[in-house]
Amino acid sequence: MKRVFYFSGFTLTVFQWHKNHFINSYVFNPSKDGLDDFARYLKASRNGPARILVDVIEEDFRQENIPHVNLNDRKVVIKRLIERHYRKSVDYVYHKVRGRERSGRRDDKLFYGVLTNPEILEPWLKVIAETGTEVAGIWSLPLISESVVDLLDKRQGNVLLVSQQVPSNLRQSFFKDGTFEISRSAVVNLDEANIGEYIAEEVEQTSRFLSNQRHIGFDDKLTIHVVCNEDDIEIIKRHCVDTPLREYVYHDLDELHEKVGCSDIKEPYCSGLYSYIARKLSFWKKHYGPSYVFRFYYQRLIRNALKMGSALIVLFSLFIALVLYAESKISMNEAAVIDKQSKQLEYKYVQELERYESELIRAQVMKSSVLLAEKINLDKAISPQNFLISMSRLLSDVDMQHIRVTSVEWKRTQLGEAVFEGKKQRKSPKRAAASKNTYQHYAIIVGDVVTDNSFKKAVTEVSNFIKLLKSNELIQKAEILKIPFDVRPESSFENEHSANDSTKAGSNRNSFEIRVLLKADDHV
């Protein structure tokens, strides 16, 4: 159930709503009995949050320019402004910045509304506080009347909304292009004159006031929207005559009730309509009131938040627990499946392989031994026997009959060794066995040229031998280490002649020495 406390400045009417339906209303006078009744009502009724709607004469609306400053400074400026004009009403101020000036300092346009005499609310607030009634907020009726203008769908131009919430008051609120600017409330006494006369007179006064205050120009058109009972429309029309600058539009209150969806309300004045609008206002958009008035409501919000939080925590923990339980079950099932697979595999192992276990340990030894033996056997293809056979074939050539080989030194080595640079390194067996297809073999061939004492012929024979070696496809490289007559500038040479023997250059004067590198890959 929602409750709206409509305060007219004298009486306080409680409107009770359930969802969108009007339940009932109670009117309380500000007398001691009235306040006691109000307290009794509050104690007896369910403590649902109440919204207070104030519709009092003692309410000012102004628009002033203030310097454009940051938010904190603006608060200070507004506080000083209010304290200067309305010292007692510091807690009953609503303000809103409505844009900035287009020229000059480009000041902020500050609109504010103030309850100039908040003491009239205090007896009621005291009862509310004593009964622990929750108050969601205090709203100004003129400020929420923008909703009624929206309802009338008249947002353009100068609109003056005339309505009567209680029999003794007539409220006129002025809107420029749908934005509230000012409102005034006048006391009426229907015993002295009918409502039509009052409206005509009050509208005229308000029009002049608006012109004087420059809310409208002197030649601006003003549309007056009168919300009233169907019965009063004819009475009002008799007194309110349209002119070129004044146009009256009448709205039947019952039609508006139907339009907003609260046709079950049977109030003769507009307070019911406003309370209907106010029943759903959000507490953080309230207009007036010191914070202590709302403390019970805040406590309710905190209580609800804590309850909600507790429920969410429990729900969250239940959710997590369920997820973990589900995960546990999945893990358990998976573990069972894996365990079953393990047992099957183990059984398979026992059946197929366990009896070979002692032999299986030797598998790697077998593999390494066989592969290494094969490698050694493969490398054995490079042997001095094969090399010497190749050499014999070369020497059997008819042109090589004068060459006599006296010594062959064969060595197997690995590629990359500087054999031909004179850095002979003896390769260790382990390195040789470790490498794969990297062997080469070379030989140093020492021999004589069987010829007469002609150096030239001996050299020619050796050169031919070298050429033959080089032309052989199995020989990669051949290099002369020593020739019978070395005519190269870097070599030294000596010779001797005598009468008996024409030349004495030593016993090995026709000897030569050749280093040959063979292609290992062919396994010559």
Please count the CA atoms within 13 angstroms of the CA of 452 that sit on its side-chain side. Answer: 3
Q: Which is nearer to another protein, 44 or 361 (CB)?
A: 361
Q: Is 302 among the residues that bind another protein (CB under 8 A)?
A: yes
Minimum CB separation of residue 279 from another protein in Å reads 25
Type of residue found at 349: Y
Q: Are 146 and 178 in contact (CB under 8 A)?
A: yes
Q: Are 418 and 448 in contact (CB under 8 A)?
A: no
CA distances from 391 to 48, 327, 475 (A): 121, 81, 10
Q: Is 335 among the residues that bind another protein (CB under 8 A)?
A: yes
Binding mask 436-475 for another protein (x = CB under 8 A): ----------x-----------------------------
Instruction: Give the burial class of 514: count Cβ atoms within 10 A of its Cβ; 0-12 exposed, 13-18 middle, 19 or more buried.
Output: buried
Residues 402-431, interacting with another protein (CB under 8 A): 405-412, 426-427, 429-431
Give the Cα separation of 190 and 411 in Å (integer): 140
To the nearest 10 degrees (0 to 180), the angle between helices 253-260 and 271-278 is: 20
Contacts of 161 (CB under 8 A, 6+ apart): 145, 148, 149, 152, 171, 172, 173, 174, 175, 225, 227
Q: Which is nearer to another protein, 76 or 306 (CB)?
A: 306
Q: Is 349 among the residues that bind another protein (CB under 8 A)?
A: yes
| Cα R_g (the chain), whole angstroms | 60
Q: Is 134 among the residues that bind another protein (CB under 8 A)?
A: no
Minimum CB separation of residue 51 from another protein in Å reads 21
Residues 23-52, interacting with another protein (CB under 8 A): none
Q: Are 53 and 275 in contact (CB under 8 A)?
A: yes
How would you write 307-340 as a 3-class SS string? HHHHHHHHHHHHHHHHHHHHHHHHHHHHHHHHHH
- Mapped onto helix, strand or coil, the DSSP state of residue 229 is coil
Indicate which single residue of 187, 324, 415, 487 sits in contact with another protein (rule: CB under 8 A): 324
Minimum CB separation of residue 230 from another protein in Å reads 49
Indicate which single residue of 205, 213, 317, 453 sits in contact with another protein (rule: CB under 8 A): 317
Minimum CB separation of residue 293 from another protein in Å reads 11
Q: Which is nearer to another protein, 21 or 482 (CB)?
A: 482
Of 26-34, 74-82, 327-335, 511-519, the segment contacting another protein by CB under 8 A is 327-335
Residue whose C-alpha is closest to residue 387's, from 474, 458, 479: 474
Beta bridge partners of residue 446, listed in sequence order: 407, 513
Minimum CB separation of residue 291 from another protein in Å reads 8
Binding mask 148-167 for another protein (x = CB under 8 A): --------------------
- Chain centroid to CA 55: how far? 49
Q: Which is nearer to another protein, 181 or 448 (CB)?
A: 448
Please count the CA atoms within 13 angstroms of the CA of 426 that sit on its side-chain side. Answer: 2
Of 79-87, 149-157, 186-194, 338-346, the segment contacting another protein by CB under 8 A is 338-346
Q: Which is nearer to another protein, 166 or 443 (CB)?
A: 443
Binding mask 350-389 for another protein (x = CB under 8 A): ---x--xx-xxxxxxxxxxxxxxxx-xx-xx--xxx--x-
Binding mask 267-296 for another protein (x = CB under 8 A): ------------------------xx--x-
Minimum CB separation of residue 422 from another protein in Å reads 17
Minimum CB separation of residue 347 from another protein in Å reads 10
Q: Is 342 among the residues that bind another protein (CB under 8 A)?
A: yes
Minimum CB separation of residue 467 from another protein in Å reads 24
CA distances from 381 to 83, 476, 481 (A): 115, 17, 27
CA distances from 155 to 128, 174, 179, 271 (A): 37, 11, 8, 22
Of 51-59, 281-289, 345-353, 462-470, the segment contacting another protein by CB under 8 A is 345-353
Q: Is 334 among the residues that bind another protein (CB under 8 A)?
A: yes
Indicate which single residue of 341, 453, 491, 502 sits in contact with another protein (rule: CB under 8 A): 341
